[in-house]
Structure 1
Amino acid sequence: MNEFLGISLTEWIGYLASFFVAISFFMKNIIKLRIVNSLGCILFVIYGILIDSWPVGITNGIIVAVNLYYLVINKKSHRVKADEVQP
């Protein structure tokens, strides 16, 4: 497989996934945290597939689903109907 700086593409994907997941834990905004964490988890799903590790892929796939669920729920709960807006 292709290498860059002596590191395989598969390993780069794993490192990038780790970076995004780690960075997400430093975020105060829960929406940004879930988005960045989801990106890292998606990369971990790809990494799990590339290294043929079902536990890595499945676990991170579930985390992505949970993050997306809460992002959608959060978006719906912040909607305000036009007749509920007060001057």
Structure 2
Amino acid sequence: MSENWSEYVGYLASIFVILSFMLKDLKKIRIVNLVGCIAFVVYGVFSGMLWPVIIPNAILSVIQVYHLIKKD
């Protein structure tokens, strides 16, 4: 893999987040968005601790997990 593999993770994260806006089923939206947020956290960590990327996506990940596991 190339030296800038984290850049590819960032692009993949963007694709997942955009895809989550195209879905209609709320559970699928949350799962796809969660994958994107986790990928953005990984991207932020391996791209030099980009806190403006890491913090909001980590918070959004926790929110998505909370809504996925809570009982309605």
TM-score (norm 2): 0.91
Q: Which runs of 5+ in 2 are unaligned?
A: none
Identify the residue that residue 42 of structure 2 maps to in structure 1. Answer: 46
SS in 2 for 1:60: helix
Q: Which runs of 5+ in 1 are unaligned?
A: 78-87
Q: 1:16 aligns with which of 12, 37, 43?
A: 12
Say whether 1:71 aligns with 2:68.
Answer: yes
Q: CA-atom RMSD, angstroms?
A: 1.3
Q: Give % identity.
A: 45
Aligned residues, how many? Answer: 71
- List structure 1 segments (4+ residues) > 6 angstroms apart after TM superposition: none
Does 1 or 2 have the higher relative contact order (CA < 8 Å, sep 6+)?
2
For 2:30, the aligned partner's letter is R
- Report which of the two structures shows the higher radius of gyration computed on alpha carbons: 1
Between Structure 1 and Structure 2, the one with more helix by share is 2
- Distance across 1 between alignment mates of 2:40 and 2:6: 10
TM-score (norm 1): 0.76
Following superposition, the deviation at residue 35 of structure 1 comes to 0.2
Between Structure 1 and Structure 2, the one with more strand by share is 1
Following superposition, the deviation at residue 8 of structure 1 comes to 2.1
